[in-house]
Amino acid sequence: MKKVKWGIIGIGWFGEYHGDGLAGLPNAEIHSLCTRNETRLAEVGAKFGVDRLYTDYEEMLADPDLDVVSITTMWDQHTAPTLAAINAGKHVFLEKPMASTVEDCHAIVDAANASDKFLMVGHIVRFNPRYAAAKREIEAGKIGKIVSIYARRNVPVSIGAAVLPKIGPIIGDGVHDTDIMLWYTGAEIVTAYAQTLNVHGHKYPDIGWTMYRFDTGAIGVCENIWCMPDHKGYFPDERMEIIGTEGGIYLQETYPALAVVNGDGSYTPDPTYWPEIRPGVRGGALAEELNYFLNCILENKPPAVITPEESLAAVTACLAAEKSAATDRTVRIDEMG
Amino acid sequence: MKKVKWGIIGIGWFGEYHGDGLAGLPNAEIHSLCTRNETRLAEVGAKFGVDRLYTDYEEMLADPDLDVVSITTMWDQHTAPTLAAINAGKHVFLEKPMASTVEDCHAIVDAANASDKFLMVGHIVRFNPRYAAAKREIEAGKIGKIVSIYARRNVPVSIGAAVLPKIGPIIGDGVHDTDIMLWYTGAEIVTAYAQTLNVHGHKYPDIGWTMYRFDTGAIGVCENIWCMPDHKGYFPDERMEIIGTEGGIYLQETYPALAVVNGDGSYTPDPTYWPEIRPGVRGGALAEELNYFLNCILENKPPAVITPEESLAAVTACLAAEKSAATDRTVRIDEMG
Amino acid sequence: MKKVKWGIIGIGWFGEYHGDGLAGLPNAEIHSLCTRNETRLAEVGAKFGVDRLYTDYEEMLADPDLDVVSITTMWDQHTAPTLAAINAGKHVFLEKPMASTVEDCHAIVDAANASDKFLMVGHIVRFNPRYAAAKREIEAGKIGKIVSIYARRNVPVSIGAAVLPKIGPIIGDGVHDTDIMLWYTGAEIVTAYAQTLNVHGHKYPDIGWTMYRFDTGAIGVCENIWCMPDHKGYFPDERMEIIGTEGGIYLQETYPALAVVNGDGSYTPDPTYWPEIRPGVRGGALAEELNYFLNCILENKPPAVITPEESLAAVTACLAAEKSAATDRTVRIDEMG
Amino acid sequence: MKKVKWGIIGIGWFGEYHGDGLAGLPNAEIHSLCTRNETRLAEVGAKFGVDRLYTDYEEMLADPDLDVVSITTMWDQHTAPTLAAINAGKHVFLEKPMASTVEDCHAIVDAANASDKFLMVGHIVRFNPRYAAAKREIEAGKIGKIVSIYARRNVPVSIGAAVLPKIGPIIGDGVHDTDIMLWYTGAEIVTAYAQTLNVHGHKYPDIGWTMYRFDTGAIGVCENIWCMPDHKGYFPDERMEIIGTEGGIYLQETYPALAVVNGDGSYTPDPTYWPEIRPGVRGGALAEELNYFLNCILENKPPAVITPEESLAAVTACLAAEKSAATDRTVRIDEMG
């Protein structure tokens, strides 16, 4: 069985999850790891039994055996390693959001298009079986033309506290739903209006509400609240409501789909995104998107589920929303460059 | 048992429902009816066994026996009969929205305040047991200070077709949730931003999405879509999500709370607002609010659940949202007069 | 306004709730109270401003002004005060279950039928607006002939601990759903099979599962678990699923209909059965059933929502289920006398 | 990439689905097909581009290149081809239920244990991500010791009409939940009591309700109704409620997890069991269980998710329930041989 050699650049919690996902794929081999934190590097290297450990990604990318890398660095440190990996002739699986500026996104898209290797951004929600099923229903014309979409993606205050010093909820989570709205409508966003509220005094505001207008006239609304109570019954609080001229679609991850209730309160263990299906192995949509990209490489077919241009469009819209919230006015997408 | 003598001005479907609600209240007597449509007047008079039938409300209001009137005329024809009834010394139960302009609302509030009789606007959602329970939890401090509220109130396309020639979804239905948001937050709305979409070419657009900013910083979002598919599983599609600094509250009327599924599809029979509990008698929140006002009259205590000023505030915010949608900019409430 | 004079015999928590319900009914007056516990009697008398306080119900019933009594004694002490009240010429509102033996139920039914006053057992679920709506749909033929019903009514372990020394879950809670099944089907139960499990070592087992066969062939299943975790997300966990030849009906009280989530976990404040709508006043189905009985008295019309014979039938079936669980065999209803 | 050669014996709709599942697995090759229906054989062979087509499975099994077979014949025709495949030295993926008699199950288990190849029965629900997540929570002790389980698995009348001439709902669908109950509790079933109702006059009754007692005292209840209305909002109507001494778990597949509402009513497109993720390719739990077995073969590790003995135990319990329904008495599992 041919094994594709996979490296990971950026070993925070999600870089490690990439490793946990790869660990369950028979055709993949975790080949090498890279992070500036040497202690972390040794620790995660030991966990995955990997001894090609780097603090400098240029050195790692110089290894001709390496086929593909995951880029799981901080969201505003995506561009340099991504361009380096493309230039080194590697396939790239890049975490969302593509980059932190529209300019950087363009640079990545251009580099990817000039390469004969593949680049795919990890828009994991497209690999959630329920969102994929909704896409098939929409494509089959079951709800007509989309006129309104509402999305919610809320997380507890303790997660907010960890993340809000680094990224805000609109670009951090709203990018998922913005991408899904673009995917479902097949339309372009014309304007963004947003409001934010800083409840806990972190660098970024805890709450972002965004209203998009699409070029078809459709309206899209994203709710992103990163300060839900920790004793939580209904998290991940992820919902979508898609209204078309002929019907609607409703999605939700939590109870009653799945809930555990006990002395600690109630919660929905993750069955969908990155469940630990056995010690050290994560399945779900994360494994699915990694496996999809793996098979694109093995069969030498470009990824069709999402293109770099689509990832760029989602970032552009979210940054327009951030700009709207900062300036208290509607922002046109074509202002964003 | 003393019976309060109650008249109804405006005998459309909802005027008749007022009658159906009064029919179940032992302490109320349907005393007189008024509408310009003589056929309708005779028909509804016969149904309720009422022979004091008027096409001119001034004549009706001249009857000294009459204690109280429901005003259930078209939303933009509320002001004249309401002022006339107040001037005639009657108690007034006025349907929502209070009036179609801020100016008219002020006139009604001023007249009500100058009268020794009572005026209450039928903000029926405050009498929905679940919304009332949520209010009690909020008052008890269970979710801390409110930072975000999302409301949905969507109805089928066939109802939209009947109503959209007369009124739009933001003032027509959003006024319910705007009022509830004001009630729950105890705050004032500072700005409104809204977008609308006209899907079916009626006088008013089918879809309205509104985003409010409150003076506490809280954000409120109303979804009002009047073109849901008629073969409907989840209507009335009425939901609210209230997020506070210490917790959240979730409300919903439909399945799984109640649903009937059969060869015609699935639907939620109304158990809450105006269910026909026996032939010709409606119970639920409609009977509850009428009964509440009735007891205010019997015990001579001013209505405390909602004041005329609160009804004015809800209309003002909705009209600001309508203005935003029409002008494509954020509208400040203090622009509205 | 005529006020009906109402007494309460048995002042446990639910006797007090009867008072809280009566407190919100303008046409009712809490006339007198009776309990053997003198401290409790004084305390609740003070709360309601009632000075006709009795430790002996015979003395209380001797007052010719008294119109009606609630009997809210322990479930196995219903018979004597009920028969005494009927014999004293009072209307009787008796709590469920009617009595603790089939024999006693027959005695009560016979006495009620011989009286010119009314007796109604407090089958409160019939006054839950959603169950009442379901009844109307069934009567209207919307789901055809009923072939299967599933009911769940589960409560937390702390409530179980308080109640299980006195009564078990099948007769204690299953009697609600047994009654509803009889009401909806219009059929008779032929056999009962049940299993119980004693988890916490109280006098009565915490868990009861019952399977009924109706004379129409329909199957009915009741789940009654009185040991749910106290940190609870989904209580009251009350559900019903009614399957007919042409459709089905689904009911549920809890989230998403209503939930509060905060640092203490999540819960559904009661909006339905006996919500405290203002300090010292309970509304909901409890006030509804008391008000219904009050109006039967005022208008001198016998209660039609439930008859004594129907209350007897529900108790008989539950006692058959209890007997089945005790003897580990199917029990025929006609064995029960 | 090594490809495992896979044959399919029995090409009804589910045999074809096995092919659709294998079509998405890069390491599998659909090697050969077998059915007695020659037209069907040619048609499905053409679909999958397979030219090793057989009407006699003995001939097919004689091919030494063939590694593994799916047995997807009628449920009461599982035994002979399964034993033949084992004897021919093939790995066997057998559809549920294992066989139609306890005796046949024992024969299969014995043959599998004597072989150095693997046999796994397709208990697909164990591969549903939500049920797998629940299993992990139970194993982690999150709900304590299980005391009660309720399962529902109901399907529309049109599916019932197609299937009820061949198999009944208890062994046909209840076997899924019986297996899950055994898996979750780790206990053995001691007795089964069941009732059935034949609504539409097919060979097998449409409705089966089963109550199990486990050797731990736990009670398990299965609802299997194969006559739900075709215009359906909530199908697959699949639910489970697992109550432990420390907590509970709730699962459900349908709305609000996912629903499409349009002019045809509302429905949940399958995102879980065998969604057609692209034309001719099925993913979901079906692909997952086939892929799992495939990797067991590739890595030469016996399947651990389910053993033949466990499949036998589920069939035995269901046949005890069928016997109870037929004889109107509780049946002990140890009566079943």
Quote the CA–CA distance of C129 and B21 in Å, as a whole number.
15
Nearest-CA distance from A259 to chain C in Å? 9
CB contact (8 A) between residue D147 and residue C234: no
Question: At C30, which amino acid appears?
Answer: I
pLDDT(C288) > 70: yes
* Residue D195 confidence (pLDDT): 98
Using the beta-carbon criterion (under 8 Å), do C272 and B129 form an inter-chain contact?
A: yes
Query: Please, what sign has the CA dihedral across residues B298, B303, B309, B312?
Result: negative
**Residues β-bridged to residue D5:** D29
Chain B closest CA to C275's CA: distance in Å? 8
Of C229, C232, C263, the CB nearest to A231: C263
Question: Tens digit of pLDDT for each residue in C135-194?
Answer: 999 999 999 999 999 999 999 999 999 999 999 999 999 999 999 999 999 999 999 999
Distances (CA, A) of C272 to A74, A260, C93: 50, 25, 20
The pLDDT value given to residue B88: 98
- The two most distant CA atoms of chain D are separated, in Å, by 56
Interface contact B52, partner C, CB < 8 A: no
The predicted pLDDT at position A233 comes to 63
Residue C99, token pair as written in the block: 């009595």
What are φ and ψ of residue A198, in 5° steps?
-95, 100
> Looking at CA atoms only, how far is residue C19 from chain A in angstroms?
34
Residue B234 has pLDDT above 80, yes or no: no
- Token pair, residue D167, equals 């198999």
Q: Which residues of D touch A295 (CB under 8 A)?
A: 26
Burial D162-174 (b: 16+ CB within 10 A, else e): ebbeebbbbbbbb
- Residue scoring higher pLDDT (D316 or A2): D316
Of A229, A255, A263, nearest to C231 by CB-CB distance is: A263
Q: What is the pLDDT of residue A230?
A: 79
CA distance A69 to chain C (A): 41
Residues of chain A with Cβ-Cβ distance to D144 below 8 Å are 262
| Cβ-defined contact of D223 to C150 (cutoff 8 Å) | yes
**Residue written as tokens 């290149």?**
D65
C-alpha distance from B323 to closest chain D C-alpha (Å) = 32
Residues A48, A32 contacting (CB under 8 angstroms): no
Helix (H, G, I), strand (E, B) or coil at A228: strand
Q: What is the pLDDT of residues B287-312, one digit of tens each?
A: 999 999 999 999 999 999 999 999 99
What pLDDT is stored for residue B267 in this prediction? 83
Check A234 against C266: CB less than 8 A apart: yes
Angle at B25 between CA B20 and CA B27, to 5 degrees: 135
List % helix, strand, coil for chain B (3-state, nearest 5). 40, 25, 35
Work out the pLDDT band at B262, boundaries 50, 70, 90: confident
The SS3 assignment for C40 reads: helix
Q: Are strands A68-71 and A4-9 parallel, antiparallel or unpaired?
A: parallel
Is the pLDDT at A222 greater than 80? The verdict is yes
Residue from the list C221, C234, C246 with its beta carbon closest to the beta carbon of D209: C221
Name the residue in chain D with its Cα closest to that of A299: D26
Q: Is A259 on the interface with B (CB under 8 A)?
A: no
Per-residue pLDDT for B235 more than 90?
Answer: no
- pLDDT of A1: 60
Helix axes A308-327, A175-185, angle to 10 degrees: 120
Phi, psi of D296 (to 5 degrees): -60, -40
CA distances (Å), origin B263, targets B113, B114, C225, D227, D232: 53, 56, 34, 12, 8
Residue A232 confidence (pLDDT) above 70: no
What is the rounded distance in angstroms from the CA atom of residue C319 to the CA atom of residue C305? 23
Q: Does C299 touch chain B (CB under 8 A)?
A: yes
pLDDT of B7 higher than 70:
yes
pLDDT tens digits, D136-165: 999 999 999 999 999 999 999 999 999 999
Please write the tens of the pLDDT for every residue from A296-324: 999 999 999 999 999 999 999 999 999 99
For each of chain D's 337 residues, which pLDDT tens digit applies? 679 999 999 999 999 999 999 999 999 999 999 999 999 999 999 999 999 999 999 999 999 999 999 999 999 999 999 999 999 999 999 999 999 999 999 999 999 999 999 999 999 999 999 999 999 999 999 999 999 999 999 999 999 999 999 999 999 999 999 999 999 999 999 999 999 999 999 999 999 999 999 999 999 999 999 999 876 666 679 999 999 999 999 999 888 888 888 877 788 889 999 999 999 999 999 999 999 999 999 999 999 999 999 999 999 999 999 999 999 999 999 999 8
Provide the pLDDT for residue D234.
62
Confidence of residue A263 (pLDDT cuts 50, 70, 90): confident
Residue D15, classified by CB atoms within 10 Å of its CB into exposed (0-12), middle (13-18) or buried (19+), is buried
Percent of chain B clearing pLDDT 90 (strictly above)? 91
Who among D148, D195, D329 is closest to C211 (CB)? D195
Residue D207 has phi, psi (to 5 degrees) of: -120, 130
Residue B100 reports pLDDT greater than 70? yes
pLDDT above 70 (res B233) = no
Residue from B99, C102, B123, C243 nearest D155 by CA: C243
B289 in contact with C, Cβ within 8 Å? no
Q: Model confidence over D303-312: pLDDT tens digits?
A: 999 999 999 9
Cβ separation of D197 and C211 shorter than 8 Å?
A: no
* pLDDT tens-place string over residues B58-73: 999 999 999 999 999 9
CB contact under 8 A, B261 and C250: yes
What's the pLDDT at D322?
Answer: 98
* Contact check, Cβ <8 Å, A228/B248: yes
Q: By the CB < 8 Å criterion, does D217 face chain C? A: yes
- Whether C197 and D209 lie within 8 Å, measured CB to CB: no
Contact A260 D249 (CB under 8 A): yes
pLDDT at B329: 95
Q: Which residue of C has its CA nearest to A235?
A: C261
Cβ of residue A255 closer than 8 Å to a chain C Cβ: yes
Q: Are strands B28-34 and B53-54 parallel, antiparallel or unpaired?
A: parallel
Model pLDDT, residue D256 = 81
Contact C35, C15 (CB under 8 A): yes
pLDDT (average), residues B241-258: 90
User: Given a contact as 3+ CB pairs under 8 Å, which chains touch B?
Assistant: A, C, D
List chain D residues with CB under 8 Å of B261: 228-229, 231-234
| Among B82-96, C5-19, C49-63, C246-260, the least confident range | C246-260
Please judge whether B243 and A225 are an interchain contact, meaning their C-beta atoms are less than 8 angstroms apart: yes
From residue C200, give the alpha-carbon distance in Å to each of C157, D147, D262: 9, 11, 49
Asked if the Cβ–Cβ distance from D259 to A249 is below 8 Å, we say: yes
Q: What is the pLDDT of residues D63-108, one digit of tens each?
A: 999 999 999 999 999 999 999 999 999 999 999 999 999 999 999 9
Q: D161 to chain B nearest CA, in Å?
A: 16
**What pLDDT shows up at residue C127?**
97
Residues contacting B303, CB < 8 A, separation 6+: B118, B120, B292, B293, B296
CB contact under 8 A, A263 and D247: yes
> pLDDT band for position B23 (50/70/90)?
very high
Task: With beta carbons under 8 A apart, name residues in chain A contacting D272.
Answer: 129
Q: Report the alpha-carbon distance of residue D33 to residue D46 in Å, rounded.
A: 11
Q: Which two tokens stand for residue A239?
A: 């919902």
Contact D331/A at CB under 8 A: no
- Give the pLDDT confidence score for residue A34 in this predicted structure: 98
Are A133 and D271 in contact, with CB atoms under 8 Å apart?
yes
What value does the CA radius of gyration of chain B take, rounded to a whole number of Å? 20
Q: Could you read off the pLDDT of A140-181 as tens digits, one per residue?
A: 999 999 999 999 999 999 999 999 999 999 999 999 999 999
In which band, very low, low, confident or very high, does the pLDDT at C233 lie, cut at 50, 70 and 90?
A: low
CA–CA min distance B179, chain A (Å):
20
Give the pLDDT confidence of C11-67 residue by residue, as tens digits: 999 999 999 999 999 999 999 999 999 999 999 999 999 999 999 999 999 999 999
Residue of D195, D217, D229 lying closest to C219 (CB–CB): D195
List, as one string, the DSSP characters of D264-304. Answer: TEEE---SSSS-EEETTEE-HHHHHHHHHHHHHHHHT----
Say yes or no: A234 contacts chain C, CB-CB below 8 A.
yes
Q: What is the pLDDT of residue D284?
A: 96
Query: Above 80 in pLDDT, residue A285?
Result: yes
Q: Are A249 and A146 in contact (CB under 8 A)?
A: no
What pLDDT, on the 0 to 100 scale, is given for residue D262? 81
DSSP string computed for B77-136: G-HHHHHHHHHTT-EEEEPSSS-SSHHHHHHHHHHHHHSSS-EEE--GGGGSHHHHHHHH
pLDDT of residue A255: 80
CA–CA separation, A243 and A118 (whole Å): 34
Contact partners for chain D, using 3 or more CB pairs closer than 8 A, are A, B, C
pLDDT above 70: percentage of residues in chain A: 98
CB C118 within 8 A of CB C303: yes
Q: Which residue of D has its CA nearest to A269?
A: D133
Choose among B248, B257, B260: nearest Cβ to C257.
Answer: B257
> Nearest CB to D257: which of A252, A261, A263?
A252
Q: Assess contact for A248 and A241: CB atoms under 8 A.
A: yes
CB spacing of A197 vs B217 below 8 angstroms = yes
Please state the pTM of the whole predicted model. Answer: 0.96
C234 pLDDT tier (thresholds 50, 70, 90): low
Q: Which of A132, A249, A260 sits opposite D137 (nearest CB)?
A: A260
Angle, to 10 degrees, between the axis of helix D129-139 and the axis of helix D175-185? Answer: 30
Structure confidence at residue D218 (pLDDT): 98
Question: What's the average model confidence in pLDDT over A60-89?
Answer: 98
pLDDT for residue B257: 85
- Rounded to a whole number, what is the distance in Å from the CA of B223 to chain A's nearest CA? 9
Are C228 and D248 inside 8 Å of each other by CB? yes
Interchain proximity C261–A233, CB inside 8 Å: yes
Distance CA A63, CA D59 (A): 51
CB contact under 8 A, C26 and B299: yes
How far is B236 from B240, CA to CA, in rounded Å? 13
Count of CB contacts below 8 A, A vs D? 134
The C-alpha atoms of residue A95 and residue A111 are separated, in whole angstroms, by 16
Alpha helices in C167-281 (DSSP H): 169, 175-185
Please indicate whether, in this complex, the C-beta atoms of D234 and B263 are within 8 angstroms of each other. no
